Structure 1
Amino acid sequence: MNLFERTQFDQKLAQRPGVTFVDQWDARVAKVGGKVFCLLSDAAPLRLVFKCGEDSFDILTALEGVEQAAYFAKRQWVSVTEGSPLSADDLLAYIGRSHVLVAKGLTKKLRAELGILEG
């Protein structure tokens, strides 16, 4: 599994409830309830951007190939370059956590409509 390939990105992230995809900002953007939770850049170097929350921010940004994501909330979003030491399973787990964090900000009614049980 390579989440830096668009087909794999779409296939794996579409398994989460309420996910939609759009092409914007020169990237493939995954949203839940209309809010971004992950994106895959179209240009090299390929990057995944996702919300991690402050708990994981310091841990992740200490790794080579991981930094604070430009244009996103400070200390809550990271940008991971292809070739970072994070495995595909680790990335998928962090992206799943991003989905949960963003979905928690949706209204209870919208979460129910999207079939999101967490939060």
Structure 2
Amino acid sequence: MPLDHLRTFCLSLPAVSEDVKWDHDLCFSVGGKMFCVASLEPPLTFSLKVPDDQFDELLSQPGVVPAPYLARYKWVLLEEGHPLSERQVTALVRQSYDLIKGKMPKKELKAAGLL
């Protein structure tokens, strides 16, 4: 999935913000908590959170590796050339968004306009 498609999709989700961290990573957050991190420098890679039961299954795919620094929290990194379709990737990004949003306290959800 090209970076512009990923960015458009992430920003279409409710209450999402973006910022650049670590000088070269575009981070998408909901309520100040990251749910997707994309490289701004080639090759295009991006990381996202997945449910515990999907973590090992996704890692068995070529081009999907444990996300550096975040794998212990069940984040995967999709490398350029991974075999997942754009539809599968958008479903994973949406799932990551939902996982992160689901852990937010009601007070934060309300402040972000998500309740």
Instruction: State whether TM-score is above 0.5.
Output: yes
Partner of 2:57: 59
Partner of 2:35: 37
Q: 1:75 to 1:57 in 2, by over 3 A?
A: farther
Distance 2:73 2:52 in 1: 6
Q: Does the 8 Å contact 1:57/1:75 carry over to 2?
A: no
Structure 1, 72-81 or 34-43: larger mean CA deviation: 72-81
TM superposition shift of 1:55? 1.1
Q: Does the 8 Å contact 2:30/2:97 carry over to 1?
A: yes
TM superposition shift of 1:72? 0.9
TM superposition shift of 1:53? 2.1
Matched, 1:13 2:13: no
Q: Does the 8 Å contact 1:46/1:82 carry over to 2?
A: yes
CA RMSD of aligned residues (A): 1.4
Q: How many residue pairs were aligned?
A: 114
Amino acid at match of 1:20: S
SS in 2 for 1:28: strand
Distance 1:21 1:83 in 2: 24
Q: Does the 8 Å contact 1:36/1:102 carry over to 2?
A: yes
Q: Does the 8 Å contact 1:68/1:75 carry over to 2?
A: no
Partner of 2:95: 97
Distance 1:75 1:59 in 2: 15
**TM-score with structure 2 length normalisation?**
0.91
SS in 2 for 1:85: coil
**Which runs of 5 or more structure 2 residues have no equivalent in the other structure?**
none
Amino acid at match of 1:80: L
Per-residue deviation, residues 5-24 of structure 1 (Å, max 9, x unmatched): 2x222211111111000011
Distance 1:73 1:106 in 2: 20
Distance 2:49 2:89 in 1: 12
% identical aligned pairs: 32
Per-residue deviation, residues 46-88 of structure 1 (Å, max 9, x unmatched): 1110000211101100000001100114151000012101011
Q: Does the 8 Å contact 1:54/1:76 carry over to 2?
A: yes
